[in-house]
């Protein structure tokens, strides 16, 4: 026997992994059912302020990669694309939620929290 054949016999066979269970087990777990509330990202500042393209890119990626439904940006300052205007433009059916608002913040920000809750 050669050393190569002895080594191959000593290696254990590879076993198949059990399928992952739980919430994030596959690509379909990111798809939202029809009629789900719209995602609105609450962005601090004005619509024409430097750095807002990052928020727009994030909304685009969320829309394309995960939900297939539009994700909107609502700016907390200024009149153009303001959060309240975006929320007022969404259609709400019956007593269901019209939108889920997610503040874009890197940490606790009381001013941002007040603006989102207003």
Q: Model's pTM, two decimal places?
A: 0.65
39 φ, ψ (degrees, to nearest 5) = -90, 125
Contacts of 82 (CB under 8 A, 6+ apart): 74, 75, 76
Position 90 in a domain:
yes
Residue 65: domain span: 37-102
Residue 6 lies in a domain: no
Q: Does the residue 9 lie in any domain?
A: no
Please check whether residue 26 lies inside any domain of the structure. Answer: no
The answer to whether position 96 is within a domain reads: yes
Look at residue 112 and tell me if it is in a domain. no
Alpha-carbon distance of 11 to 107, in angstroms, equals: 49
Residue 64 lies in a domain: yes
Q: What are the DSSP E strand ranges found in 48-112?
A: 71-75, 99-103
The pLDDT tens digits of the residues spanning 43-97 come to: 888 888 777 888 889 888 888 876 667 889 988 887 778 888 888 888 765 567 7
**Helix, strand, coil percentages for the chain (3-state, nearest 5):** 35, 15, 50
Nearest to 39 by CA among 103, 117, 99: 99
For the chain, the domain total comes to 1
The answer to whether residue 71 is domain-embedded is yes
């Amino acid at each position: 026997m050669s050393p190569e054949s002895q080594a191959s016999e000593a290696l254990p066979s590879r076993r198949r992994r059990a399928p992952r269970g739980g919430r994030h087990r596959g690509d379909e777990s990111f798809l939202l059912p029809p009629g789900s509330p719209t995602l609105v990202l609450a962005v601090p500042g004005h619509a024409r302020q430097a750095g807002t393209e990052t928020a727009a890119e994030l909304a685009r990626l969320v829309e394309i990669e995960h939900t297939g439904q539009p994700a909107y940006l609502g700016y907390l300052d200024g009149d153009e694309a303001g959060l309240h205007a975006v929320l007022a433009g969404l259609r709400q059916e019956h007593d269901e939620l019209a939108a889920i608002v997610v503040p874009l913040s890197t940490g606790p920000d009381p001013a941002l929290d007040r603006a989102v809750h207003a």
